[in-house]
């Protein structure tokens, strides 16, 4: 059963589970904090990726969104344009080298450079006992969730260096800290992103490029709906939370990502921020 993968964490410091609204003053101050920046966000036509694109765009960045399907790209571009966000969209399967190169080249050609990479793309083609997973499953998950994240970083770094620096944010998961039994290979791939963040940060700091990571808990997206729509899992997760609201909203992750890309986070690199509602989970 799904609930068997929910690990037990200490419950400490309960607080009210209310989403805090930004004041008009703080919103006005944030609207131009990324003006002139160009941000690539992978897998960005829905869920956390779209929320990240919105948060970056609302702060003045020109965002480049992508998805494997053109119809999804068109919908996301139309939405962002309706919100007065500078946006360019294209299809991209980050698991394919030619698509990664085309995404980066198109961004440089249309936008003049790259300042920010948010690596959000992930797959999970397997559900069940980890010992039943196959080599093909591991290849697919690691190719997209880990290898492509690194290779995208490798492609954008020279362009960031030309602009004097930049910011890379990997989207991991609480599963990277507390492996989910039914999602073993996926959980391992998310743990790998924590290590990739720490490995890249000191090397890229020499080029004034910061590398950080966000590890969301259960967020209300289509990708995780099998979790938050199951009442048994809901009840089990609530025992682990300090904030008694089971699911976070994509916008809450988008805001953290935008912060990590901003000058407000200029002294932060090699770190992972967990956004989990207070789950006391660490490696």
Q: Could you give phi then psi for residue 168, rounded to 5 degrees?
A: -120, 130
pLDDT at residue 138, rounded to an integer: 98
133 vs 229, which has greater pLDDT?
Answer: 133
Contact 196, 146 (CB under 8 A): yes
Sole residue written with tokens 């200029």: 266
pLDDT at residue 90, rounded to an integer: 98
Q: Which pLDDT band, with edges at 50, 70 and 90, does 219 fall under?
A: confident
| Burial degree of 250 (CB within 10 A; 0-12, 13-18, 19+) | buried
SS3 category, 257: helix
Q: What are the CA-CA distances from residue 199 to residues 112, 160, 207 (Å)?
A: 28, 18, 15
**Among 1-5, 125-129, 270-274, where is mean pLDDT lowest?**
1-5
Q: Which pLDDT band, with edges at 50, 70 and 90, does 4 fall under?
A: very low
What residues does 243 pair with on adjacent strands? 15
CA distance 126 to 183: 7
Q: What are the CA-CA distances from residue 137 to residues 117, 124, 134, 225, 258 (Å)?
A: 26, 8, 5, 21, 32
The mean pLDDT value of the chain amounts to 86
Contact 108, 101 (CB under 8 A): no
Instruction: Residue 216: name the closest of 246, 183, 238 by CA.
Output: 246
Q: Which pLDDT band, with edges at 50, 70 and 90, does 9 fall under?
A: very low
Full-model pTM = 0.86
CA distance 206 to 166: 11
> Strand order of the sheet with strand 62-67?
87-91, 62-67, 38-41, 116-119, 166-171, 209-216, 272-275
Contact 90, 51 (CB under 8 A): no
Instruction: Residue 116: name the closest of 68, 60, 199 by CA.
Output: 60
Q: Which pLDDT band, with edges at 50, 70 and 90, does 7 fall under?
A: very low
What residues are annotated to the active site? 186
Summarised one tens digit per residue, pLDDT across range 177-187 is 988 778 999 99
What residue ranges define each of the domains in the chain, with the CATH number in brackets?
A: 38-220+249-275 (3.40.50.720)
Count of residues in the chain: 283
Summarised one tens digit per residue, pLDDT across range 67-76 is 999 999 999 9
CA distance 170 to 178: 18
């Amino acid at each position: 059963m799904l609930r068997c993968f929910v690990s037990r964490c200490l419950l400490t410091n309960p607080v009210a589970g209310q989403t805090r609204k930004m004041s008009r003053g703080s919103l006005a101050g944030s609207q131009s904090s990324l003006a002139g920046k160009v941000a690539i966000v992978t897998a960005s036509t829905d869920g956390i990726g779209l929320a990240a694109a919105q948060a970056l765009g609302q702060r003045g960045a020109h965002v480049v969104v992508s998805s494997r399907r053109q119809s999804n790209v068109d919908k996301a571009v139309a939405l962002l344009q309706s919100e007065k966000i500078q946006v360019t969209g294209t299809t991209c399967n980050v698991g394919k080298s030619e698509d990664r190169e085309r995404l980066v080249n198109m961004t440089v050609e249309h936008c003049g450079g790259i300042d920010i990479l948010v690596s959000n793309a992930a797959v999970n083609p397997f559900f069940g006992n980890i010992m039943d997973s196959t080599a093909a499953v591991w290849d697919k998950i690691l190719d997209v969730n880990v290898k492509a994240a690194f290779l995208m970083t490798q492609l954008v770094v020279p362009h960031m260096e030309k602009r004097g620096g930049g910011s890379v944010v990997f989207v991991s998961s609480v599963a990277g800290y507390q492996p989910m039994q039914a999602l073993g290979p996926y959980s391992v791939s998310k743990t790998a992103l924590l290590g990739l963040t720490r490995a890249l940060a000191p090397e890229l700091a020499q080029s004034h490029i910061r590398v950080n990571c966000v590890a969301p808990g259960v967020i209300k997206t289509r990708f995780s709906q099998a979790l938050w729509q199951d009442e048994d899992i809901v009840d089990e997760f609530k025992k682990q939370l300090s904030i008694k609201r089971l699911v976070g909203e994509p916008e809450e992750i988008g805001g953290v990502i935008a912060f990590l890309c901003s000058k407000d986070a200029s002294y932060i690199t090699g770190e992972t921020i967990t956004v989990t509602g207070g789950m006391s989970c660490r490696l």
